[in-house]
Every structure is written in structure tokens, then in C-alpha cells.
Amino acid sequence: MEASAAVWVAALNGSAMGGGCELALACDVRLMARGDHCIGQPEVLLGFSPGGGGTQRLARMIGSARALRLVLDGGALTPEEALSLGIVDYLVEPGELVDSAVAEAARLGSRPKAAIAACKRAVYEGGSMPLPQGLQLERAEFLSALGTVEAKQAMRDYLEAIERDGELPAYDPAQLHAARLRGRFS
């Protein structure tokens, strides 16, 4: 999942404990329905450690100290607690979960596939390397995606939009404001 050019969005409409949590952590984006359910890594309570990536992904996501406390405790987190720790990205009403997840997947998945794959490799692989090697990987991904047909077309479209509208499309204040309202930026 982490190496693919697809954007993986988890839609959690109930409890995700152990393997369910680990599958959600492997996704690029996690939406969770509000409600009386939870997410967590309870394996330690059964006498073993998480084995499907929970320790590694949590540590990279929320830091080693927090991840260790969560997996040593084994307790469940409410949707609100998971959001505040950064384990899930968005909370939505249960009836809106699937539509919200599909919309987010469509929005993020509409980016050029080579760029998606390059971003994911730079973050997932480069993020676990020492900084000089991570920067080298990022630079290599940048250069490899820059010359693709998709990137060239996206750059042409961007320049045409500037000429047509007289504005910088990537810095559209209305779009940034709408993203802030949706909770994408704080």
C-alpha cells in the first residue's frame, strides 16, 4: 500500500483494534465515524506485541514515546482521542463516512500518479532514513517525476490558468480557506 501510486483511504465505521488498527495505519488517510467505538493496539494484553506494523507505523506517526505508551497500555482510544493524537485524520458523522472517504480518495487520487508515488516514497521511505539520505531520495523522486507526461501537462495547465485568470491557482485564498474549514490545515 505504501509503495503504490494509489491513495489509500481508510473509512472506519466501527472499532479497529489490533489488525484492524494496523490496516488503517497502513493507509495514507484515515477517516473515522464519530460514535461509541474505538481504535487501538491491545496485543500486549494478550501477551504479545503488535505484529502487523502497529509499532512501526505508530512510532513514525506520533513519535516513539507516545507509541510505546499506547502499545504498552493496550487500551482503546475513542475517535476523539485518536484524532487529537493524529492517528486518524478526520472525524465525520456515521452517515457521511463513506461519501466523505470516497470524496477524499477522489480528490487526492486525482493528482498525477507518478507524483503520488514519488511523494509516498519520499515520505514513507525517506522519513525513516537519516536526513541526508532522506533529502537525497526526495531529490531523486522530484527529478524522476518532473519529466513525466503528467507533470508537464499539469504545469502547462497551471500556466494556462494563470494567464486566463490572472491568479496563482495553487494559492487561491478561497480554496485555502475552505480547506481550513474542513480541518485540513490549522
How many Å apart are CA 83 and CA 45, to the nearest integer? 23
Hey, what's the cell of 104?
477524499
CA dihedral angle for residue 110, residue 184, residue 5, residue 60, rounded to 10 degrees: 180
Is 167 considered catalytic here?
Answer: no
Give me the pLDDT at residue 185, please.
41
Q: What is the pLDDT of residues 116-174, one digit of tens each?
A: 999 999 999 998 899 999 999 999 999 998 888 988 988 888 888 888 888 877 665 65
Strand partners, 17: 40
Q: Of 22, 104, 138, 141, which is the active-site residue?
A: 22
pLDDT in tens, 76-128: 999 999 999 999 999 999 999 999 999 999 999 999 898 999 999 999 999 88
- The number of residues in the chain equals 186
Has 43 been annotated as catalytic?
Answer: yes
Q: Which residue is catalytic, options 43, 104, 138, 141?
A: 43
148-157: burial string, b at 16+ Cβ within 10 Å, e else = eeebeeeeee
